[in-house]
Structure 1
Amino acid sequence: MFSEKNIPKLIILTPIATVILIAFFTIYFFVKNQYDYFEEESILVEKEYIIKQKELLKKEVDYIVNYIEHHVKRNKTLNNEELKKEILKYTETIRYGKHGYIWIHDTNYYLRAHPFRQESLGSYDIDLKDAMGTLITKQFIDESIKNPNGKFIEYYWQKPAELHFSKKLGFFRLYEKYNWVIGTGLYMDDIQKSIFENKKLLEKRINRYIRLVVIISFLVVLFIGFISFLMSKKITAVFKTYQDNVKKKELLLEDLNKNLELKVQKAIKEEKKKDRAMFHQSRLARMGVMLSMIAHQWRQPLSEVSGILMEMETANKFKKLDDKMIKESIKDSNQLISFMSNTIDDFRNFFKPDKEKVEFHVEDACNEAVTLVSASIKNFGITLKKDIKVSPIIRGYKREFAQVMLNLMSNAKDALVQRDIKEPYIKLCVDYKDDKVIITVEDNAGGIKEAYIPNIFDPYFTTKESLKGTGLGLYMSKMIIEKNMGGELSFENTKQGALFTVVLKV
């Protein structure tokens, strides 16, 4: 079969058969992957849609509450009942999305405001039921009293101007001053339309890709067949010249043997050039690591600056922005920017062996880190417990040590926020024992999974989402404490959460 006569045929048929098989399997796996992707994307779209709609509902209700509080504070002309009527009329005019509106009950189960139940305003609404027979007014009010900051509830209700009932997700919040329960909701079946439209678009895209792949595969087969045909004509001539080429190569081999020493020397020179190139690439890689660490260190201060700007924007929106707040915001922002500038200096010197150590108080460095993270901690309702029993002087790198404390407290904050811990706290403790200062950072976020513990100090290892963590924070912290400052950084799980311990010589 593999004789010299059959080689031209093999040259023609083998590439064609190979391309056909590749095209077949490519189309098959492409279609399969597209449909698998569609199933995963449908689930993701539904989850993201629900989350966004919940945020929208909460935002709308919070807006009404802020509106009420704003008018209550600024009211000087209307009496209490007139003000209530004005607010109730305003809420009935609010519309958002396709079917979004606001309604209000009081805690005595009376309907106070509703854009589509005007005939029932002022009536005792406790007997109102949804399509499943649930006393929804009673449920709304009772749950809101138990959860005054807001509660999501599912029930079945009619869309405006429609007869059939649809599943609805509502958000309810208690306004205690007037004993009002403010509610709004969205219809869950709206997402089905979005998913159906996405499915149609995906099917069209898949069909278009399939046609494109088939056409390209067919053209490739023709092209390779044509090339193979041309090559088969030349293959005979190639065989004829094969022996001549072998003889020429033998002569070249003899010449190479004679000049082997010169070629070895040349190869050694080339190898040295490659070594220098690899050394240069290694330096570039280290620079990349340093830049990644800087990005990781800047994420927290940038978030703090963003928070300050958002706070100023909100204060300006409600006409509460004054000179004092502007000065404080500028002061805080300058402090954060100064920290970011210092971070560049720290990382620029990180890999240099001749950095100068200074003497500093442990409490001062800890306070610098607390200052940077305190605004973010307060924003998420996290309690910071400080237990500074002593404040010895240590010799080392103050800003790098402060960055370590910032990393540990930031990681604790992220874990508490991600897991939505009730009554969250972070405890910072400084103690002294056996000529060593012991600094601990502890939280009540539930700790780290046992399977992850051996890897938490490895570079690029992270349990956070890809857009929220680089896996360099703990690695960098361990390098600073153990390599640069001759200390020890360790971790253990407690009953409440995670405990990081830094031990340094006084």
Structure 2
Amino acid sequence: MSLVTEKNISKIIIYTFIVIMTTMITLISYFYVKNTYIDFDTELEKFVNDYYTHQKALLKKEIDVVIDIINYNATKSGSTEQELKEETIRILNNISFEKDRSNYIFVYEILNMNGGDNFAKLLVNPNRLDIVGSVISSNYEDANGKKFREEFLSDIRTKGESFTQYVYKKFSSSQVNQKIAYFKLYPNWNWVIAVGIYTDDIEKDIAKKKEDLKRRVKTQIIQTVFLFILFLSIGIVLSILLSERIDDFFKEYREKVKAKSNALIELNETLEKRVSEELEKNREQEQLLVQKSRLIALGEMISNIAHQWRQPLSELSSILMNIKFKHNMDKLDKQTMEQKSKEAELVLDYMSHTIDDFRNFFMPKKDKEEFYIKDAINSVMTIVSSALEYNNIKVEIDVNDNIKLNTFINEYEQVLLNIISNAKDVLIQNNIKNPLIKIYGEEQDGFVILYIEDNGDGVKVNPKSKIFEPYFTTKGDSDGTGIGLYMSKIIIDKNMKGKLRVRNTKDGAKFVITVPK
């Protein structure tokens, strides 16, 4: 006897559907909740790592601002070095960077770079006024027995800077907590300038983020499970309605078959018309693809502009920060304001030229002009010099002042900027000791040849020409687009009818830019 008959088929279908849907929704809900909590743990771990990295970057930035202040004060005329030091100590005793945080500036005068019981004199430390002015020992141990002064002094000897974690008492308190500090050598006065942040301050921010994430995850899970149950209920209702229709299925079966047969006949008769309609749809689709390709090209142009603006915006931010800080310290005189205004105008002018460069790049007509290659190099250096100095990268330029080119100056400067910026990034990424960029040129058989050479260990990919392919990059996704060298290749080889090549030397990479004079 058959279990499925015309009389019970609708009930069997609805019961089967309910069981399958209930099982499916239950499993989906279970795995969704499980994976959501796994994602929560992953996101929280990433946030913690990123937040600590961000805090270290802030500490380093604060010390750079302090060194800018010291350098500014050191330029004052009519004061002895001792007077300048005393004035600087007075200023540093009153600096605090963040509200409701236990961070402060502290300064050591190094007496013995190799360490020992009398390795330094403590000049500034608002948290330890009892030992300010005293000679201190590098053998001092924190509450955990760690000789943190020996650790940062070792880094200072090799790198000139150090991130060190240790235990120390909090400001205006007897409480002892873990602390992350950044130390940097100011060689002019043999000072080590430092700033730190207590990890409990960081953990408070992380705890807030964790609670926020928990609330979001809980809300998301509740909403999703509710939707799953809602969909299950709707499915059950629909299955009931469907079962009622199944009862009429066999009665309507013959009519439906007949209707489909008639529809097939009609389809054959109108096939040519349908084909024509489909062809028209395909043509419309082709137009959409053309429009899409234009939008992609526009997106690439905007991406390139953003890539070119990254460094100028950073430079402009640094200028504004310097002005603001000196204004807050009542040290902003007219000469300094005029100097910083000129620097900002140069940066803004270059950013404006960048827009013109990219606009002209997509226009079929562009005008050439005659210029000195040394001027083009100097123009680019005004943009990147701050970043190079910040990373202690030395630049040697040996180019004859009389070498001229007659080509597109803005595009030529764009190529120089791309190559020098890439060299800078490689030197930083590979942590090169005594980083160096050499720029030199010559005239040869109607061509101007410019060489840009670094000591960053060279191009590691094979073939080397792969670095000129679009979207190829050895940097992280957040640090590189893979467009810079590709655009440089297009500019030199196609727009200027020259050659852009790269080869490795014993120390690094050498880019050769050859352009008809």
Determine if the TM-score, normalized by the shorter chain, exceeds 0.5. Answer: yes
Q: Which moved more, 1:93-102 or 1:402-411?
A: 93-102
**CA contact under 8 A between 2:14 and 2:239: conserved in structure 1?**
yes
Residue equivalent to 1:247 = 258
Residue equivalent to 2:238 = 227
Rate the CA distance shift 1:287–1:91 in 2: closer, same or farther, 3 A. Answer: closer
Q: 2:496 aligns with which of 473, 485, 500?
A: 485
Q: Does residue 31 of structure 2 align to residue 31 of structure 1?
A: no
What TM-score, normalized by structure 2, do the two folds share? 0.76
Rate the CA distance shift 1:13–1:359 in 2: closer, same or farther, 3 A. Answer: farther
Q: 2:12 aligns with which of 9, 14, 22?
A: 9
Counterparts in 2 of 1:33-432, with a 5 A limit? 33-39=36-42, 41-42=44-45, 44-46=47-49, 48-49=51-52, 51-52=54-55, 55-56=58-59, 59=62, 63=66, 66=69, 87=90, 97=100, 99-100=102-103, 107=111, 108=118, 126=137, 129-133=141-145, 139=150, 146=157, 151-158=162-169, 166-171=177-182, 185-188=196-199, 191=202, 195=206, 199=210, 202-203=213-214, 205-357=216-368, 362-388=373-399, 396-432=407-443
* Gaps in structure 2 of 5+ consecutive residues: 112-117
Residue equivalent to 1:446 = 457
Percent of residue pairs bearing the same amino acid type: 33
Offset, 1:363: 4.2
**CA contact under 8 A between 2:168 and 2:177: conserved in structure 1?**
yes
What amino acid is aligned across from residue 234 of structure 2 in structure 1? F
Cα separation, 2, equivalents of 1:497 and 1:277:
47
Rate the CA distance shift 1:474–1:132 in 2: closer, same or farther, 3 A. Answer: same
What whole-Å deviation, never above 9, does each CA across 1:159-208 have from its counterpart, x for those lacking one?
57988865444455678899876666544466556556655654555455
What amino acid is aligned across from residue 384 of structure 2 in structure 1? V
**CA contact under 8 A between 2:165 and 2:179: conserved in structure 1?**
yes
What whole-Å deviation, never above 9, does each CA across 1:418-442 have from its counterpart, x for those lacking one?
5554433222222344544332222
Rate the CA distance shift 1:15–1:354 in 2: closer, same or farther, 3 A. Answer: farther
**CA contact under 8 A between 2:95 and 2:105: conserved in structure 1?**
yes
What amino acid is aligned across from residue 373 of structure 1 in structure 2? V
Cα separation, 1, equivalents of 2:123 and 2:38:
50
Q: Which moved more, 1:334-343 or 1:126-135?
A: 126-135
Rate the CA distance shift 1:148–1:181 in 2: closer, same or farther, 3 A. Answer: farther
What whole-Å deviation, never above 9, does each CA across 1:300-352 have from its counterpart, x for those lacking one?
33333333333433443444544444444444444444443343343334344
Cα separation, 2, equivalents of 1:42 and 1:396:
52
Q: 2:505 aligns with which of 470, 489, 494?
A: 494
What amino acid is aligned across from residue 131 of structure 1 in structure 2? A
**CA contact under 8 A between 1:390 and 1:431: conserved in structure 2?**
no
Partner-residue secondary structure (3-state), 1:456: helix
Task: Please tell me the root mean square deviation across aligned C-alpha atoms, in Å.
Answer: 4.7
Cα separation, 2, equivalents of 1:103 and 1:173:
11
Residue equivalent to 2:467 = 456
* Gaps in structure 1 of 5+ consecutive residues: none
Partner-residue secondary structure (3-state), 2:324: helix
Cα separation, 2, equivalents of 1:113 and 1:299:
36
What whole-Å deviation, never above 9, does each CA across 1:97-148 have from its counterpart, x for those lacking one?
55545666764566677667676677765485433556667x4896698589
**CA contact under 8 A between 1:144 and 1:181: conserved in structure 2?**
no
Offset, 1:416: 3.3
Cα separation, 2, equivalents of 1:343 and 1:141:
43
**CA contact under 8 A between 1:12 and 1:232: conserved in structure 2?**
no
Offset, 1:222: 1.7
